[in-house]
Every structure is written in structure tokens, then in C-alpha cells.
Structure 1
Amino acid sequence: MRQTQRTGDNSVNIQGDVVNFGVSYRDAREIAKDVFEENIVKFTEVAREIASERAHELTDKLISSLPIEALESLKDPDVQRSLFFAQQEFACSGEKDLGELLVKLLADRMQSTERNVKTLALGEALRTAPKLTSRHFAALSVLMVCIQTKLGVDSVERLHRALSQVLSPLAKEFQITRADVAYLEYAGCLSSTALTTNLGDAFQNAYAGLFTTGFMEEWISEGSRNALMPLTQKCLRDPKMIQLPTLSKEEIRKLAEQKALKAHRQEIERLMGIGLMAAGEIEREISEIDEDLADFPNRYNASSLVNCQLTAVGTTLAYTNLKRVVGDYFDAELDIWVY
């Protein structure tokens, strides 16, 4: 059928049976507020006013932090359920830190469209977060930085600077008891392991190339010297010596699997152990970076965390809290750990 349109100045003509502009920021705020108002339990008038005010505060912070394309997720019943849970918890507690954490978790959830481990972990993390204290969040983030994260640095000075910016703010609140660790296991954030990983051992594994005094060229066996010398660099701690690249032990072992180096794997493994600083030396160096880290290695090694690893939910909470505490300095995506 022929259609005719007439238009005036400064007007926009749209022709067709269905027009859908998607969810606007204004629409999103109304949807999010309706989710709370239509589901909130009946408080007294004063309590209801406080609860609504807190829920709307959380809603406004969430919506303003999202790109417009993420607002479509508000049509998803699972997202609305997660949103109401977060609104309800913040409405009752009013705790600023919890509110910030819930906003970040929700923002990640609303931008995750696939149903996968990450989406499930974000949903579970939203339900778990209100059950934890700031001390618990700090402990989870500390474990993530020390065990699961390799900061992208290529010098001792940059590592010290990175630890001062990322680990020091967490170390201020780091105080964890055996009961706390047991509770975090019960909450599904941690799992026990038979392996004990002290702080010095963890950093020795992650930053082997930064915690070595190196070796001399003649210490490389003659049969491997020509093949391995191109792999070496000047030692960061002693310019008279050489060392393997500033990689983790795991990364160097993967490098040794390359076809040209496979025949020299044993020699590479041997060289990795030459000049490697002891765990105690590494811990002393970390404790001297700044005052917030002064006693941190001792407190960390004395905790039960040395026998723990993060679950997917624990990693999600640790990551989100770390982003909350240090901001954009930590710019990695959650997908690196949970996918």
C-alpha cells in the first residue's frame, strides 16, 4: 500500500509498522525504580522512605555507569531479579562500600549477555557480597593479587611502584583470622589446598625474572650456549651478569617448549634456579616498599590463606573489590580469570 508523509520544519518522519528505539536512560531509570517499588516489603512510612531513597541512589549510580546498549538487559527477568536483590540489600544496609561493590557487580552482569560461568559467578557474587565484611573483601583481593595476578611490569622499580599502588591499599585492611577463612570457604569464596604457598614463593614463581641476581655466559653449558644466548638479557640487579627474560617460571617453561628450544629444556630449567632470590629475601624486599607493606608478609604468611585458592565466586568478588579500591590503575577484565 502506498504511504504518504507530510512534514514540517525540524521534524523527523518514520515510516513502517513497528518502530523501536530501545531502552533510553530515562526508561531504564523508571524500570529500575519500578522493580524496587513494586517488590519492596511493607516497611513503616519512615523506613520505606529511607529504603526507597537508598535504592534510587544505587539505581542512579548503576544506570549512569552503563553504555546505552547495556540498558536492553533490563528486559531480562534474571537481570531484574539481580537488580532487586541488590536494591533490597543496599536499602537495608546503606553501607557505602557495599553499595559501590553491588553497582560494579550489576554493571558487569548487565553487560554479560551470554549464559556462561562468568554470568553465573556474577549472579552468585551479588547474592554473596552482602554476607561479607570489608575485611573479607580485602582478604579475597589480596589473595588475587598475590596468587592469581601477574602485574605487567618489566623492572624491579616498576614492580615496587605497582605493588605500592595495588597491594598497599589492601594491606591496610588485611587482618584475617582462621574463623574468617573458614567462613569464606562456607560462603563459597575459597577452597582449601594441600599446597602451602607463602608470599615469597608466590612472588618467586610470578616474577622469577625480577628476583634473580643472574649468571655468567660461561655458566651455560657449551651444548646450549649458542641456542640460549639470544634468549638472555642483561641482569636487572647486576649489569655484570645476564639472566633469562623477565617472565614467570610458567611462561619461561612454555617458551622452552618451542621447537628451537625444546632440546634445551633441562638447561633452561637449571638456569632458572641460578641466582634466584630466596623467599625470605623477596619478602623482606616487599616489606620495605612502603609503610603499609612493612608487616604485610608476616601477616600474610601467618594466615590460613597460604593454603587456599579462590573459587569463581571468590575471584569475581576479589576482582570487583580490587577495581573499587584502586580504580582504573587495575585495568584487566574479569574474563581473564572467569570465563
Structure 2
Amino acid sequence: MELVEMRQTQKAGDNSINVQGDVVHFGVSYRDAREIAKDVFEENIVKFTEVARGTASRRAHEFTEKLISSLPVEALESLQDPDVQRSLFYAQQEFACSGEKDLGELLLKLLADRMQSTERGVKTLALNEALRTAPKLTSRHFAALSVLMICIQTKLGANSVEDLHRSLSQVLSPIVKDFQITRADVAYLEYAGCLSSNAFTTNLGDAFSSTYPGLFTAGFMEEWISEDSRSALIPLTQECLRDPAMIQLPILPKNEILEIADQESFRPHKQEIERLMGIGSMAVEEIEREISGIDEDLADFPKRYNASSLVNSQLTAIGTTLAYTNLKRVVGDHFDAELDVWVH
């Protein structure tokens, strides 16, 4: 059944209440929201000179207009929350002082998510801290966080090698253009609460081999499965993507395959499943060469990534929030997951 959204328009006086169909809205209107947001800035802005104050006010009002017009009406109610007003003023103040377009876009997205997060939890707290941290970072810091998120914490929806190449070209390539990270940058990101040190080293090839084992395998032959497990495991296999003469395990991350192996019907064959996972796997060097060949932006990316201290780092909740928001800012709908997948 196709659902069709019905829209109606009404006009009424300033002191009246509009009622349409089944929807009744008694909360903050768009006009009210603009006034609240304007007052938040004007009543809290520090004393600049007349010229500086005019510039700051113009930037803050521009920021506010973009924010309010991007939100659904139900989110405007949050402007009556003191915690939201504090976050709003901080974002207004930072953009008013810097005027940087990229920072403004990032703050807008963070604040929009914050205003639509009504429950006090890890996500809300992370958004609050991300709003305070963002102005302290540079474009290459944001790029590094987003790169780490794509390579370590994200499984792109790819069911073929071609799908993965296309997704990486759409999502990773635009980010790596700004990817240039030093050991001092990584230390600073740790100090800012965006990263934490990891005892393990995860090179790019290792990360992709773990996340996409079904896309980086030459497969195996049916007779290579132990005779005791063959009849039970054949239904779990599929034609190998890289060689139709071979078969392979499902196109899932290693941890999800191991979860399947723990199911009652496969548990007696778990050891054999683990053995098959290692058969036909491409060497990390092969995987990195393949990634380098996707497009010119990724040509030297594996080398630069592996030479950085990111191989020993992991994102915190704040770092993940900033990485996600920057990704959405740069690649838009090519990255369509919600922040709740990582921070909740």
C-alpha cells in the first residue's frame, strides 16, 4: 500500500491557533524559534566594538536562520531547554567569531542533531561535548577522524567487489583529500578527547580483511571442507565472488560469521568454520594495492594511513560524533546511516 502525505494550508491571525486534520501544534513556532535563538545570542554576546558587534550579529543570525529552517517543527520545542540554549549560544558565538564556512556547517549539523535528541544519554552528552570540541580542531583533524571511522568502525553496504569500490570512491575518496596527520596531531586529538590509544596495530589491509572477508577471498573448493562438516556447511556457502569455480562463506564481517558459528546448528562445526575463514584470504598487501587502484585520490592512501599513528588509535564517543558529522557534511547522502548506530 502506498502512503500519501496530505498537506493543508491555513492562514490565521497572530493570536489564533491553527488546527489541521489530526495534527495540532501548540508548541514553539518557527517565528518563535527565530526570536528565541536571536535573543539567546544578543543577550549573551560579549561587548565588541560597534563594527565587530555588527559582523558577529550578522553571522550569528545567518547561522540561526539556516538552523531553524533545517529543523522539523517538533524539534523547535527543545529551544526552551536551558541545556539546548547553552549549546546554541556556544555554536552561535563560535561561528560569529570565526565565520569559517566548514566549521559553520559542522556546528549546524551537530546542533540540529542535539535539538532532536530529547533523552539525556550518551548520544546527547557526546553531541554537547562535540559542539565544544569542534572549534578547537582543524580540517585535517576532522578528516583523520572520519577516515578512522570509515576504515575501522564502519561496514559499507557492499555485496560485491564493484559495490565496495564504488562506495569507497564516494565516501572515502572525498575525505582523504584532506588526510595528512602527524604524530603531534594524533596526540592532540587524544588530549581533546577524540581518540584513545590502542595496544593493537591495525593496518589498513588488516582492517578491510576483517570487515570484508567475503570480498577479499579467492574462496575454496567443496572438497576442501572436512567430510564430517561438509553436508552441514555447504548450505552456508555461496559462489565465490572472485572465482565462480570456487565457493566461499557469506559476505559478512568476521565477527558476524563467528556469531553464526555459535548457533546451535553450526556449533559442532565451529572449528571448521574458523579454518575455512583463513583459506583463500587475500594478503593484506594485495588488499592495499587494490584499494590504491580504485581512483587517484586513494593511490597513496594505504601507505599514508599505515605510516600514521592512527593504526594504534580508536575513536571515543566524542571523536565518533565529530567523525560522523564531518562525513555527513562532506559526502551527504552517500553516507546515510544514523549516528545512533555508533553512539547510543
TM-score tier by shorter-chain length is over 0.9
Instruction: Report whether the alignment pairs 1:43 with 2:48.
Output: yes
Residue 85 of structure 2: aligned partner: 80
| AA of the residue aligned to 1:259 | E
Residue 224 of structure 1: aligned partner: 229
CA shift, 1:141, in A, is 0.2
* Structure 2 residue matching 1:328: 3-state secondary structure: helix
Normalised by the length of structure 1, the TM-score is 0.94
Higher Cα Rg, which structure: 1
| AA of the residue aligned to 1:76 | D
Structural mapping, 1:126-137, within 5 Å: 126-137=131-142
CA shift, 1:20, in A, is 7.5
Instruction: Report whether the alignment pairs 1:198 with 2:203.
Output: yes
| AA of the residue aligned to 1:46 | V
The one of 311, 318, 323 equivalent to 1:306 is 311
Query: Take 2:216 and 2:164, find their aligned partners in 1: how far apart are those partners?
Result: 11
CA shift, 1:13, in A, is 8.6
Residue 233 of structure 1: aligned partner: 238
| AA of the residue aligned to 1:289 | I
Instruction: Report whether the alignment pairs 1:288 with 2:293.
Output: yes
Instruction: Report whether the alignment pairs 1:257 with 2:252.
Output: no
Structural mapping, 1:60-209, within 5 Å: 60-209=65-214
Residue 297 of structure 1: aligned partner: 302
Query: Take 1:190 and 1:21, find their aligned partners in 2: how far apart are those partners?
Result: 43
Query: Take 2:118 and 2:94, find their aligned partners in 1: how far apart are those partners?
Result: 24
* Structure 1 residue matching 2:196: 3-state secondary structure: strand
Query: Take 1:162 and 1:144, find their aligned partners in 2: how far apart are those partners?
Result: 14
CA shift, 1:21, in A, is 1.8
Query: Take 2:28 and 2:16, find their aligned partners in 1: how far apart are those partners?
Result: 20
Query: Take 2:338 and 2:96, find their aligned partners in 1: how far apart are those partners?
Result: 29
* Structure 2 residue matching 1:191: 3-state secondary structure: strand
RMSD of aligned residue pairs (Cα, Å): 1.4
Q: Which runs of 5+ in 2 are unaligned?
A: 1-11, 18-23
Kindly provide the CA deviation profile for residues 264-313 of structure 1, in whole angstroms up to 9, marking residues without a partner as x: 00000000000000111000000000000000000000000000000000
| AA of the residue aligned to 2:185 | D
Runs of 4+ in structure 1 over 6 Å off: 10-14
Q: Which runs of 5+ in 1 are unaligned?
A: 1-9
Percent of paired sites with the same residue: 82
CA shift, 1:329, in A, is 1.3
Count how many residue pairs are aligned between Structure 1 and Structure 2: 326
Query: Take 1:35 and 1:152, find their aligned partners in 2: how far apart are those partners?
Result: 42
Residue 53 of structure 1: aligned partner: 58
Query: Take 2:254 and 2:26, find their aligned partners in 1: how far apart are those partners?
Result: 52
Query: Take 2:148 and 2:84, find their aligned partners in 1: how far apart are those partners?
Result: 29
Kindly provide the CA deviation profile for residues 243-267 of structure 1, in whole angstroms up to 9, marking residues without a partner as x: 0011111110011111110100000
CA shift, 1:152, in A, is 1.0
Instruction: Report whether the alignment pairs 1:246 with 2:237.
Output: no
| AA of the residue aligned to 2:133 | T
